[in-house]
Structure 1
């Protein structure tokens, strides 16, 4: 999948998130599901935070000053990027990531999604010019280039749409 295709898929997924926001009232949005776990609000916060951080990592590839990198994504990352989805296991988010998740309002979630989408649109032409050997580190997946970062953002964003559906079914 090219950078342009990944960006388009991300935008489609974000449109789905925005549609969710229209369907859910504010009280339901911030309420934790009966079986425990994150509320819709916390899922939105997490997706936005991880996507923004991942976009910053992709942007750092533009300005990377290190030479040719032979190391790339680790084996698990290669499989995830190839398959276009996370494995069908429950994966715990890194403790650092979980610690910064907080409830947000529907308006904050919507605004943050739109800001992210605009940032992606603005950054895309620059990302398309970055050589594939310019990489930055992902804590679990290894060294990713711009194209891999966008694929990760797409996979991560679509993954959490499934989580929103699980929350809906548990309510």
Structure 2
């Protein structure tokens, strides 16, 4: 797990989000699926708001407030395998519930742009970070800078799959050709 490879993977995943954004109509983007759950819009707001916050966590790993801490076994397994356990459901932590909101396609594009711009600054920061110094993740315990970057990659891919499930679930026909 190297910073450059993770950033390349994150950039490719972000490109997939952009492509999906180009393929969906504004009405479909904000439509709540018939079976419930998040709309495309809510997924985009959540994932890019929290991806930006994950990059902020990398900065905290570089600060004097970071401390040497252990990483939980389950967290190490998630980071190693690159996926959340299949039967494990996570709710959005209370402090981040506001990230699940309906936004427009334009706002989603702006969030993606802000994330990509910020991501460009992080490869060198992660390389220079002390792997022993960590900051808390609300569900996974303590992560170092490289682990935060890996988490960002996993989280982005997880919600990309969610977008596919939303599309299949409602068999959306209001996609752009």
TM-score range (shorter-chain normalised) is over 0.9
Compute the displacement of 1:66 (Å). Answer: 4.9
SS class of match (2:168): helix
Distance of 2:148 and 2:11 partners within structure 1: 15
Q: What's the counterpart of residue 15 of structure 1? A: 15
Listed one character per residue, the Cα deviations across residues 82-123 of structure 1 (whole Å, up to 9, x for unaligned) are 111111023322233234311111111111111111101122
Q: 95-104 or 78-87, which moves further after superposition?
A: 95-104
Q: What's the counterpart of residue 57 of structure 2? A: 57
1:6-45 paired onto structure 2 within 5 Å: 6-45=6-45
Aligned length: 169
Please say if residues 64 and 134 of structure 1, whose CA atoms lie closer than 8 Å, have aligned partners that are also in contact.
no
Compute the displacement of 1:65 (Å). Answer: 4.3
Q: What's the counterpart of residue 125 of structure 1? A: 124
Q: Which runs of 5+ in 2 are unaligned?
A: 171-177
Listed one character per residue, the Cα deviations across residues 35-80 of structure 1 (whole Å, up to 9, x for unaligned) are 001000000001011111111111111223456x1x2321211110
SS class of match (1:137): strand
Distance of 2:97 and 2:104 partners within structure 1: 18
The question of 1:102 aligning with 2:101 is answered yes
Q: What's the counterpart of residue 71 of structure 2? A: 73
Work out which of the residue numbers 59, 67, 82 in structure 2 matches 1:84. 82
Please say if residues 13 and 157 of structure 2, whose CA atoms lie closer than 8 Å, have aligned partners that are also in contact.
yes
Please say if residues 55 and 149 of structure 2, whose CA atoms lie closer than 8 Å, have aligned partners that are also in contact.
yes
SS class of match (1:78): helix
Distance of 2:37 and 2:95 partners within structure 1: 17
User: Over the residues paired in the alignment, what is the CA RMSD in angstroms?
Assistant: 1.3
Distance of 2:112 and 2:30 partners within structure 1: 17
Distance of 2:20 and 2:66 partners within structure 1: 42
Distance of 2:59 and 2:34 partners within structure 1: 39
TM-score (norm 1): 0.93
